[in-house]
Amino acid sequence: MTDDLLTLDGLTKAYPGVVANRDVSFGIAPGEVHALLGENGAGKSTLVKMIFGLVTPDKGRMTLSGKPHAPNSPEAARAAGVGMVFQHFSLFDALDVAENVSLGMSDPPPRATLAPRIAEVSRAYGLPLEPNRTVGDLSAGERQRVEIVRALLGKPRLLIMDEPTSVLTPQEVELLFGTLRQLRSEGVAILYISHKLEEIRALCDRATILRDGEVVATCRPSQETAGRLAELMVGRKLDAPARAGRALDSLALMVRDLSLPPAHAFGTPLTNVSLRLHEGEVLGIGGVAGNGQDELLAALSGEILAPEATLFLGGRDISRLGPDARRRAGVLTGPEERLGHAAAPDMSLTENALLSVSYDPAMVKRGLIDWSATRAFAESVIARFDVRTPGPDTAARALSGGNLQKYVMGREIVQNPMVLVVNQPTWGVDAAAAAVIRQALLDLAAQGAGVIVISQDLDELMEVSDRFAGLTNGRLSSFRSTSDLSVEEIGLMLGGAHDMAPADPGLPSRKKGATA
C-alpha cells in the first residue's frame, strides 16, 4: 500500500540451522492496530527486532514514511520514530519511576523537566503514574505503564507491543486498550503481538500471520473466530483439552496455616494459607501478579523453608525439606521466570535437564553423570512437546520464550511427579502449545498426580481446574468447584472480597512432631 507508514519488502533472516524469516512482506498504515500472529518459533521476535534495530536483515528492505528504514540500533530506531514495549519489563525495583524512564532514554532531560513530563503524558493517555514512586512498590499493571510512558515520551509514529497484557488484570487490559485506541486516533501505527486471540479480535484492524518464518495469511480479525485464527497460525484444527472423568483419591498434599514473611523488600508475605490437594485433582489458584504467587511456589518447592507441621506430603511433614529433598520425595515445580529460575541461560538443554533430574539414579550413578541418559531425556522432552530447537546441545537462552516455556514445563511433566506445582504454565506460548501443556497437566492428574496451577489466565484455570481459589495480598480464599463458579464470583475472589480459607479439621495440628 502506497500510503503505509511502514513497509516490509522481502525481509529474510537466517541463523545457523534455521531460517527465522523468509521473504516477509506487508505494510502498516498510520492509525492502524496491526496484529502479528504466529505460533512460537514462527519468526515474530526476529521480525520486530529487525524493525527496532536489534537485528540486521540478510535480504529485503524496509521503508518508513517512504524513506529507507535500516536502523543499526534501538537508538537509531527511536530517532526514526519507532518505539517498542517488550514482553519482559526492563525496570530496576530500587529506583523510582522517573529514574527508570531516564535510563531508557538516549538523551534524558533533567529530572526537574522529566518528572512533570511523565505526569503530563501519563494523564493524557489515561495511564496514571507518580514519577517519585519506587518501582518495586508498583503493581504489574503500573510497571507496564512505566514501559509504555517511556516509549510515548519519544513521540513514536510506530509503536511495537509484545505480549502487553500477559500480566494485566481484565480492568487493566481495558485501560490499556483505551490508551491504544487514543493513540490510533492520533495517527500512531501499532504493531501488536499477542497469543490472546479474543484480544486480537477486539482491538486489531488487520492481522498478518506467520508460519515457519513466512507470511501465510492476512485477515481482518474481527471477521474471524478465535478458533479460525489459531488454525491459520498452526495450519491445522485445534482440539480443546479433554478432561478424563476420575474419582479423587487420597490427599496428596496438605498445607495448614502457612504464614511466611516476604523474602525481600518488595515481596509479599503469606498469611494463613491452607489447602488440600487430592491425588488426581487439579487445583487452580488465580490472582493478579505480585499477590504472593512467587512466594507460594517457593514455599511449596522448598526454596523457602516453612515452619514445622505446615506442609504434608502423603502424611509426611516436609516443611523443613529443601528443594532437592522435595524433588526426591515427588514434589516438582515449574516457576514463572523461565530464564534464570527455571533454566540457566548459558547452559544447554541437556545440562538444564540434569539440574532437574540429578536425583534420578538413571541419570547420576554413584556420583557420575550419565550424559547419554541425560541427553536422551532432554530429547524426549523436545520431541513430546514439539520444542523448536536445533537440538539438545542448544543453550537455553537461544530458544524463543515460548519454546523454552514448553521445554521447562515438559521437563517436569514427563517425570510423573506425585505433586506438580506450576506458575504461569502457558505464559507466552501459542494456542497450540498451550493446548498441549494443558492436556499434559490433565493427563498427569488422570494418572493420579496432584496438580496445582497458579495462573493469571482465568480461561486457563477454568479449563483445567477442579477447584479454584483466589490469592490476594498473600491470602488464599476458600476453594470453590469450578463447575458452578461465575465470572462475577471469580472477580470478587481476585479482588479480595471473599472469606479466607478456614482451618481444615482434617489437617494435622501444628505441633512439633505431629503427623497426618
**Residue located via cell numbers 514463572:** 336
From first to last of its 516 residues, the chain has per-residue pLDDT tens of 458 999 999 999 998 878 999 999 999 999 999 999 998 788 998 999 999 999 999 999 999 999 999 999 999 999 999 999 987 778 998 999 999 999 988 788 999 999 999 999 998 888 888 999 999 888 777 888 899 999 999 999 999 998 888 767 677 788 889 999 999 999 999 999 998 888 999 999 999 999 999 999 999 999 999 889 989 998 887 776 776 656 566 899 999 999 999 877 778 899 999 999 999 999 999 987 778 999 999 999 999 999 999 999 999 999 999 999 999 999 999 998 888 899 999 999 999 999 999 988 889 988 899 999 999 999 999 999 989 899 999 999 988 878 899 999 999 999 999 999 999 999 878 788 888 899 999 999 999 999 999 998 888 899 999 999 999 999 999 999 998 888 778 877 876 655 544 444 344 444 333 333
Contact indicator for 12, 401 with CB cutoff of 8 Å: no
Q: Could you give the CA distance from residue 435 to residue 279 in angstroms, rounded to a whole number?
A: 22
Q: Specify the fold of 6-234.
A: Rossmann fold (3.40.50)
Q: Which three cell numbers stand for residue 383?
A: 520431541
Contact indicator for 488, 261 with CB cutoff of 8 Å: no
Angle at alpha carbon of residue 60, lines to 54 and 65, rounded to 5°:
75
Q: Do the first three CATH levels of 6-234 and 251-495 match, i.e. the same topology?
A: yes
Q: Could you give the CA distance from residue 122 to residue 116 in angstroms, rounded to a whole number?
A: 10
Question: Helix (H, G, I), strand (E, B), or coil: what is residue 207?
Answer: strand
* Side-chain-side CA neighbours of residue 145 (13 Å): 28
Beta carbons within 8 Å of 483's beta carbon, 6+ residues apart? none
Q: Could you give the CA distance from residue 97 to residue 94 in angstroms, rounded to a whole number?
A: 10
The CATH homologous superfamily to which domain 251-495 belongs is P-loop containing nucleotide triphosphate hydrolases (3.40.50.300)
Please choose, from the candidates 324, 279, 323, the residue with its C-alpha nearest in 3D space to the C-alpha of residue 300.
323
Long-range pairs for 126-131: beta carbons < 8 A, 24 or more residues apart: 126/175, 126/178, 126/179, 126/182, 127/175, 127/179, 129/97, 130/97, 131/96, 131/97, 131/98, 131/101
Element (H, E) at 357: helix 349-357
In sequence order, which ranges of 213-265 are alpha helices (DSSP H)?
Answer: 226-234
Terminal Cα-to-Cα distance of the chain (whole angstroms) = 70
pTM of the predicted structure, to 2 decimals: 0.74
Contact indicator for 469, 446 with CB cutoff of 8 Å: no
Domain boundaries defined on the chain? 6-234, 251-495
Contact indicator for 286, 490 with CB cutoff of 8 Å: yes
Question: Helix (H, G, I), strand (E, B), or coil: what is residue 471?
Answer: strand
- What b-and-e string marks burial along 225-259, b requiring 16 or more CB atoms within 10 Å of the CB? eeeebbbbbbeeeeeebebeebeeeebbbbbbbbe
